[in-house]
Structure 1
Amino acid sequence: MRTRAPASLLVIGLTATALVGCQVDTWSERCSSNTAQRSCEISVSGNTFNDLPFPVSGPILGNVPDRFRLETASEGGSATFSAGGTEGGTFSCEEGQTISIGDSSLQCGAIGDNSLDFTISRTR
């Protein structure tokens, strides 16, 4: 009599191993604005392209948001990312560091393995 249990267990084990290696891409933002400034706190993991909530340069109203992509990040180290449109490029930062991107400023918060929390802001 043949048994299928070992083959089934092998398939389950391979599936579980594959799922452990999957990268989950997340993007969450919380924005606020007043008459003078717009600011967003953003948490990102993974390396897919995401739309920033507003362009880093040029008029905010009636304009298409610029893109953001986390390239690399390591806990306790630095994060490298691409941001912006024609005024953008590739940038690096460490926790607590503030950098300028076009008309906007970006302050790096917590940096994890392949994750970054940051605040981006600009005057209206």
Structure 2
Amino acid sequence: MTELTVRAEQYADWTLLRPAGEIDLVSGRVLRERVHGAVAEGSRRVLLDLSEVRFCDSSGVGVLIAARRLLRSCGGELRLVLPEASAVAECAPVHRVFAALGVRRLFDIHPDVPSAVSGDEGEFALPA
């Protein structure tokens, strides 16, 4: 069975969700429910820290796209934390699926939580 846990905390005026494990067809509902719960509780700024996600398939990317759409529909904002693949080896598969599906441009992606919260650009190269 696919395992995904999601820790939640407040960071400045952002709801910070930290999924850990794999985001796929089976486990994606856990993350989707946490994002919907945060929005239902009034959060309009959600930060997803993907640094502990070791696998994400196309259905997992679909969950991220739906989260982005949900937040935009209510005037909110979604940002992703995705460290450079060379800095956190577990993130390499997530970088690869983003590159393969060509979805990186859809998201506001930062290498760490402080730069995501401040909005600083944290550009980095995707693996080949």
Which TM class, normalised by the smaller chain length? 0.3 to 0.5
CA radius of gyration, larger in: 1
- Between Structure 1 and Structure 2, which shows a larger proportion of helix residues? 2
Higher strand share: 1
TM-score by length of 2: 0.36
